[in-house]
A and B are shown apart, each in its own frame.
Chain A
Amino acid sequence: MKHYSAFAIAREAFRQHTGWGRAWASPEPRKSYDVIIVGAGGHGLATAYYLGHRYGIKNVAIIEKGWLGGGNTGRNTTIIRSNYLQDPSAAIYEKSRSLYETMSQDLNYNVMFSPRGVMMLAQTEHEKRGYLRTERANALQGVETRFISPAEVKKLVPIINLDGPRYPVLGALWQARGGTARHDAVAWGYARACSAMGMHVIEQCAVTGVTSENGMVTGVNTTKGHIGCNKLGIVVAGHSGALADMAGFRLPVESVALQALVSEPIKPCMDVVVMANTVHGYMSQSDKGEMVIGGGADGFNNYTQRGSWHHIEETVRALVETFPMISRLKMLRQWGGIVDMTGDRSPIISKTPLGNCFINCGWGTGGFKATPGSGYAMAELVAKGEPGPLAEAFSMFRFREGRFIDESVAAGVAH
């Protein structure tokens, strides 16, 4: 792998950039691997990366049915924060956030993690009390977060309208070290690092079945034939139900469309990420200048990556309410992704009824921020066969036992 640096660019500039090799290789699959990860989204790739990096397991294939990063990893609005309410959530999201801080250097790939700060507006007394509660919890969880006054909100976000006629801003929960990152780069950076460790990133190869013997996984059928493995990690977000079905078990997960949109680019006018959960919408400005906007998920299950238009209208209204100056901007593009929702809006990192088959899913509308932490915890589970402390609470069996980790308590929109 060629090391990336300003110096390398300068050197290449003098030979017409002919010296750059592939960021990741495109090999034909072997007959079998120690570990197969299904799904080359951020979480799958991060899992593979940590398997190699922390446990020295490098005979690994990551199998992707489309192009890597093309699922929700490449469709999300990239909000990263860790000020979750419940202990297990705060632990894994904070681990993840801290891994983001050094990800560019760790991967030698600039993922543009930008700790510009994330605020969640409190617009009802009830919401305010909720955020005060989160603030108190976070202090004990080692997550830096603070409830700030309307005046501080205005100072950080000059374009906000504090006293909208319906839901005045009563303050906000502010995580200064939250922010955004370049989503594609996260996938590409991991793919490059995995490839450099000798792992196989196999694109355009769909898993169509899971094979097993005596209750233990033996491999997967794919559009490129059968590939054997000792251990299998399923990390396919919106398609988890389908993969679980192939592996012979059911998941407490529903797949629905979640949409986002961007405006045309304008000069910087908003440096931080603002989430307004009472009115249902959130917005940040990308480094390109586009206002990046997201809102609620559809109320019905589907796989089409197209959402219902009325959600776009509702989200946009909410944001015009919050930032009236956007009214004369234009929407450039809208899209959707299929998100995997669990009953308590918390993820699953778990053993499954099939031996040596592990699953990581249920990140729903908010898993981009968790990418490195999720990979870190999943790798531990796959490598050791048992969850470590970060993953322990996220077993898929918790629903049967009633051990919910309910985050919808704290926020209507959980990004």
Chain B
Amino acid sequence: MSHRLKTGGRLIDRSRDVKFTFNGKHMKGFAGETLAASLLANGQTLLGRSFKYHRPRGIVASGAEEPNALVGLGKGDRYEPNQRVTTTEVFDGLTCETQNHWPSLDFDLLAVNSLVPQFLTAGFYYKTFLRPRAFWKHVYEPVIRKSAGLGKAPSPDARDPDSYEQIYAFCDVLIIGGGIAGLQAALSAAETGARVALWEQTAHWGGRAPVDGVTIDGQDADAWVAATIAKLEAMDNVHLRLRCMGAGVHDHGYVLGYERVSDHAPGTDAPRHRLWRMRAGQIVTATGAIERPLSFAGNDLPGVMLASAVRDYVVNYAVSPGQSVVVVTNNDDAYRTAIALRQAGVGVPAVVDARAEANGPLVAEARAAGITVLTGKGIRKVKGGKKVTGVEICRIDSKGTAFTEVFDCDAVAMSGGWSPVVHLWSHCGGKLVWDDTHHFFRPDASRPPLGADGAGFVRACGSADGEMGAVLMGAHEAGLAAAKATGASGTPPAPATDQVPDMAPMDAVWMMPRNAEYDLRMKMWLDYQNDVKVSDVQLAAREGYQSVEHTKRYTTLGMATDQGKLSNINGLAILSDALGQPIPATGTTTFRPPYTPISIGAIAGGATGPVFQPLRRTPLYDWHAENGADWEPVGQWRRPYTYIRAGEDRHKAVNREVTNARTNIGLLDASTLGKILVSGPDAGRFMDMLYTNMMSTLKPGKCRYGLMCNENGFLMDDGVVARLSDDAFLVHTTSGGADHVHGWMEDWLQCEWWDWKVHTVNLTEQFAQIAVVGPKARQLLERLGGMDVSRDALKFMEWSEGRLGGFDARVFRISFSGELSFEIAVPASQGRAFWDRLLAEGADLGVMPYGTEALHILRAEKGFIMIGDETDGTVIPQDLNLNWAISKKKDDFLGKRGMEREAMVHPDRWKLVGLETLDGSVLPHGALAVTGGKTANKQAETEGRVTSTYYSPTLKRGIAMGLVRHGPNRMGEVLEFAGPNDARIKARIVDPVLYDKEGAKQDV
């Protein structure tokens, strides 16, 4: 059984107990360790179930590469599925539960899947569940879905109570990985004076070296690490971060760092995670290497672990995975584990070495310690059900039909060699090269990721670079070269010397025994979480899924939450072997960010809930809120749809507002309307290009309604332009279109007409704009006193500036309602006071605000078009009978050529008309007029559609506008519209202007 050792543990604090619960059971660990160490110390080796077969699973690794030991962490709103115990620091009050089993961890009924593995081979589901057809949806898929997934989903109502933050940062050299190579690279780079950042994903500096017994200048690695950190901390040009993982390397040296700020210490007001968005001049990856498992039957049983992980638990946390541990290897490195175990007083029945000979210094040391070493042997199979009880040994070159020895043991430490962590090198296009000595892919320094200048911006050092011996000199050079590449010129002192024992090369043993029979291959796991076995990869190869990407996708190898950190190379080796080609000819799958999964919360970075997007408020927002506004989002604005009074529903409120505006005075908060100032000597010329109308001839003091089209001639925006002076225009746009139109102007000015002297500025938020609408509008303004707003002083389609009731006002005599109307802009800061004043002065005149829906109805009664209703990106001004607004005198304007194309001038285009149902009802939104015929594709043929439809309280009936084929020529004709539930609604084509056709009311 796994247990705590009496002494040792370089990272734990035995004086500080930490209490936690596991599946409801109370347990105790020590401060400074991972949850994995605590669980093992408590004898807990069974920690979950695999994906497909629900096989028992225990801890294999000690870090980010762990595929098996995932738990649900925390409770309620703080519950988080799939948390790796190997990267979770244990803390007081931690609660966790195991996943993916039913009814319980020890007794999982779904484990029946593993009784029939010969049926559930790779991709079996592509070959079956085919009939009967309806069964996939109703039977097969629901069953598959039920058994899929790992952790439980958070509750539907869960609301994450924690905060997340994002931070932008810059540095010359970013070093990722705080092992001795990373520390040296950081030091050498920093000593040149470059700005250096160093990230380490765990809570400790130093990485593997202190565990592996590396000595530096004759001292323990720990001593050098401490001294180096002290030096780095003392330098102002260095920024150090623990618990910060390099998550992804993106173009232009943009690197994401995932800092788990308070996962280990919840309940403080620190954010939970912080996402660093680092812009680095150069990047050095010092991300180390990950040990590979070996493929032998039963290599997935709880108790079978990576040899390096076993060493980590023993040395760092004083935890042994068992009483008696068999070590199996194809290289020298694993002997360190045997030695460490023996030194800790743990039984090591044997080291099983696949190589014909083993005699490096580490092997000698192990032998000297009295450990039995078997060479030319492998594990035939691991015995046990939910835990290891022993191993059967066989000759490595055999088929494994029989065993040569049997050992009792309760854990196995395996080592299949190492794989450099090349992920970050590869994210942005760095290429790899196969190393024949160590049998791994390592970064190809001649093909790094390239920056905008065509030069590489990532370097690797240490074991991340495939360096399996001394690393400090190489790291020093990498740090220095990176700093120099950013322009630094200082010369750092030479690095210290790290001593590592000589190691014999590994043997490329990918499977034990080499010629294993099918029955054994069917029990050799490559991907522990997804249950992909050697036999599955071989089957994929046989079936022609021979590209490594095909194999991956067909078998799901490497697609689990560890993204194949343990399984990829082994799988690749098996595949290459099956295809009879060398491994580099097979190649790897693409490495994609993030290096390990990062929280959705950190990615969102706190921009959620009310601050998801900026909420734009007009100066009158508070008044609306206090007076029954029924809000409607319009872009990032929020506008009152209507103001609901006691006893009213939406519909009644809207009708009241319309009627009041037609009889008394309505007030509209029009502050959201875009207001863009276009000025400069070439402003007129620019305006003529922007609008279909002629704008350069507009006289200062006058307003003109104008249309803007895109290059294709489609109507994009409309509004009233006021000429402020000879070289300045104020452009009004739609509320939703303001930012787009401003961007559009700048696009043309910056990319095409960069030599025109025009300046644009978006003034939308600088002004409050209020429409005072209705027959008594002028009366109200006159009461305010100040500038002359009489009919003669301020004519229809004119504007003027002055003081109104003591406010600084710009008054536009325009109308979007058909009533006498003034739109008055005052500085934003005066908006609320002005609004209040209008309400107070006009109380006896029946002044009353109206919302967006009344605005729509007022304009529709009058036959005015609305961008977004009558237009949808496919409508040209001519379709809306707006030919009058298209200048014939201009040589060019945006959209001119577009609207001259064949289909645009075609007589069959649908054109704007008014529509009146015969029974007075309101036509459904978007209803289409049907001809009764069919298209070539057997769809009902149509000849028109409703673009706007409302109940008109003025006319007391439904009114609508629509686009109809040959519409204006068909006045009086009755069309049939298709409504919901096959209803057919008859409507007559009429003039779209239904109210005050002569325009008498607006020009008074």
Is the Cβ of A313 less than 8 Å from the Cβ of B156? no
Is the Cβ of A4 less than 8 Å from the Cβ of B130? yes
CA of A21 to CA of B612 in the docked complex: distance in angstroms?
53
A22 with B126, Cβ < 8 A, contacts A328-B154, A329-B154 known: no
Nearest B-chain residue to A10, judged by Cβ: B119
Is the Cβ of B128 less than 8 Å from the Cβ of A110? yes
Nearest A-chain residue to B248, judged by Cβ: A309
Q: Is B903 part of the binding interface, using a Cβ–Cβ cutoff of 8 Å?
A: yes
Is the Cβ of A327 less than 8 Å from the Cβ of B936? no
Nearest A-chain residue to B542, judged by Cβ: A20
Is the Cβ of A266 less than 8 Å from the Cβ of B82? yes
CA of A22 to CA of B579 in the docked complex: distance in angstroms?
13
Interface size of A in residues (CB-CB distance below 8 Å):
116
CA of A379 to CA of B712 in the docked complex: distance in angstroms?
31
CA of A386 to CA of B610 in the docked complex: distance in angstroms?
55
Of A14, A110, A312, A409, which is within 8 A of B129 by CB? A110
Is the Cβ of A325 less than 8 Å from the Cβ of B144? no
State how many angstroms separate the Cβ of B254 from the closest Cβ of chain A.
7
Is the Cβ of B978 less than 8 Å from the Cβ of A110? no
On chain A, the residues within 8 Å of B254 by CB distance are: 309
A316 with B604, Cβ < 8 A, contacts A325-B157, A329-B599 known: yes
Is the Cβ of B544 less than 8 Å from the Cβ of A110? no
On chain A, the residues within 8 Å of B518 by CB distance are: 16
Nearest B-chain residue to A160, judged by Cβ: B156
State how many angstroms separate the Cβ of B157 from the closest Cβ of chain A.
7
CA of A20 to CA of B118 in the docked complex: distance in angstroms?
14
Of the candidate stretches B131-139, B192-200, B774-782, the one touching chain A is: B131-139
Of B79, B133, B563, which is within 8 A of A105 by CB? B133
Q: Is B997 part of the binding interface, using a Cβ–Cβ cutoff of 8 Å?
A: no
Of B155, B156, B590, B927, which is within 8 A of A136 by CB? B927
Is the Cβ of B594 less than 8 Å from the Cβ of A409? no
Is the Cβ of A402 less than 8 Å from the Cβ of B153? no
On chain A, the residues within 8 Å of B121 by CB distance are: 9, 13, 17
Is the Cβ of B945 less than 8 Å from the Cβ of A133? yes
State how many angstroms separate the Cβ of A257 from the closest Cβ of chain B.
11
State how many angstroms separate the Cβ of A109 from the closest Cβ of chain B.
6
Is the Cβ of B154 less than 8 Å from the Cβ of A125? no
Is the Cβ of B81 less than 8 Å from the Cβ of A332? no
On chain B, the residues within 8 Å of A105 by CB distance are: 130-131, 133
Q: Is A264 part of the binding interface, using a Cβ–Cβ cutoff of 8 Å?
A: yes
Is the Cβ of A409 less than 8 Å from the Cβ of B256? no
On chain B, the residues within 8 Å of A389 by CB distance are: 935-937
Is the Cβ of B939 less than 8 Å from the Cβ of A142? yes
Is the Cβ of A166 less than 8 Å from the Cβ of B610? yes
Q: Is A306 part of the binding interface, using a Cβ–Cβ cutoff of 8 Å?
A: yes
Q: Is A8 part of the binding interface, using a Cβ–Cβ cutoff of 8 Å?
A: yes
On chain B, the residues within 8 Å of A91 by CB distance are: 935, 937, 939
On chain A, the residues within 8 Å of B592 by CB distance are: 333-335
Is the Cβ of B924 less than 8 Å from the Cβ of A403? no
Nearest B-chain residue to A410, judged by Cβ: B872
Q: Is B763 part of the binding interface, using a Cβ–Cβ cutoff of 8 Å?
A: no
Is the Cβ of B156 less than 8 Å from the Cβ of A320? no
Is the Cβ of A329 less than 8 Å from the Cβ of B978? no
State which residues 542-581 of B face A: CB under 8 Å. Answer: 542-547, 549-550, 553-554, 556, 561, 563
Q: Is A137 part of the binding interface, using a Cβ–Cβ cutoff of 8 Å?
A: yes
Q: Is A135 part of the binding interface, using a Cβ–Cβ cutoff of 8 Å?
A: yes
Q: Is B597 part of the binding interface, using a Cβ–Cβ cutoff of 8 Å?
A: yes
Q: Is A254 part of the binding interface, using a Cβ–Cβ cutoff of 8 Å?
A: no
Q: Is A268 part of the binding interface, using a Cβ–Cβ cutoff of 8 Å?
A: yes
CA of A20 to CA of B902 in the docked complex: distance in angstroms?
57
State how many angstroms separate the Cβ of B519 from the closest Cβ of chain A.
9
Is the Cβ of B136 less than 8 Å from the Cβ of A112? yes
State which residues 197-234 of A face B: CB under 8 Å. Answer: 203
Is the Cβ of A129 less than 8 Å from the Cβ of B925? yes
On chain A, the residues within 8 Å of B927 by CB distance are: 136
State how many angstroms separate the Cβ of A267 from the closest Cβ of chain B.
4
- Binary contact track A315-356/B, C-beta < 8 Å → 1, others 0: 011111100111111111111000000010000000000000
On chain B, the residues within 8 Å of A165 by CB distance are: 609-610, 612
State how many angstroms separate the Cβ of B370 from the closest Cβ of chain A.
43
Q: Is A63 part of the binding interface, using a Cβ–Cβ cutoff of 8 Å?
A: no
Of B131, B145, B600, B899, which is within 8 A of A263 by CB? B600
A5 with B926, Cβ < 8 A, contacts A114-B137, A327-B604 known: no
On chain B, the residues within 8 Å of A279 by CB distance are: 612
State how many angstroms separate the Cβ of A332 from the closest Cβ of chain B.
5
Is the Cβ of B632 less than 8 Å from the Cβ of A125? yes
Is the Cβ of B926 less than 8 Å from the Cβ of A129? yes
Is the Cβ of A287 less than 8 Å from the Cβ of B145? yes
Is the Cβ of A317 less than 8 Å from the Cβ of B543? no
State how many angstroms separate the Cβ of A261 from the closest Cβ of chain B.
9
On chain B, the residues within 8 Å of A14 by CB distance are: 118
Nearest A-chain residue to B609, judged by Cβ: A165
Of A9, A203, A327, which is within 8 A of B160 by CB? A327
Is the Cβ of B136 less than 8 Å from the Cβ of A104? yes
Q: Is B938 part of the binding interface, using a Cβ–Cβ cutoff of 8 Å?
A: yes
Is the Cβ of B148 less than 8 Å from the Cβ of A265? yes
A141 with B940, Cβ < 8 A, contacts A125-B632, A331-B598 known: yes
CA of A174 to CA of B133 in the docked complex: distance in angstroms?
23
On chain A, the residues within 8 Å of B126 by CB distance are: 4, 109-110, 182, 185, 188-189
CA of A66 to CA of B548 in the docked complex: distance in angstroms?
11
On chain A, the residues within 8 Å of B78 by CB distance are: 328
On chain A, the residues within 8 Å of B605 by CB distance are: 313, 317
Is the Cβ of B152 less than 8 Å from the Cβ of A264? no
A266 with B150, Cβ < 8 A, contacts A110-B130, A114-B141, A136-B925 known: yes
Q: Is A401 part of the binding interface, using a Cβ–Cβ cutoff of 8 Å?
A: yes
State which residues 285-325 of A face B: CB under 8 Å. Answer: 287-289, 304, 306, 308-309, 312-313, 316-321, 324-325
Nearest A-chain residue to B949, judged by Cβ: A129
On chain B, the residues within 8 Å of A22 by CB distance are: 542-544
Is the Cβ of B612 less than 8 Å from the Cβ of A328? no
CA of A409 to CA of B867 in the docked complex: distance in angstroms?
12
On chain A, the residues within 8 Å of B982 by CB distance are: 139
CA of A327 to CA of B608 in the docked complex: distance in angstroms?
10
Please list the 5 inter-chain residue pairs (A to B) with the smallest Cβ-Cβ separation, ordered nearest first. Answer: A133-B926, A289-B149, A402-B901, A22-B544, A330-B597
Selected A-B contacts with CB under 8 Å, 12 pairs: A4-B128, A134-B926, A135-B980, A167-B633, A264-B151, A312-B603, A324-B608, A326-B154, A327-B604, A402-B901, A403-B902, A404-B712
- Known contacts A102-B133, A165-B612; 15 further A-B pairs (Cβ under 8 A): A9-B119, A13-B118, A136-B926, A136-B927, A136-B979, A264-B597, A268-B149, A289-B148, A306-B250, A321-B608, A328-B158, A328-B599, A331-B597, A335-B590, A406-B874
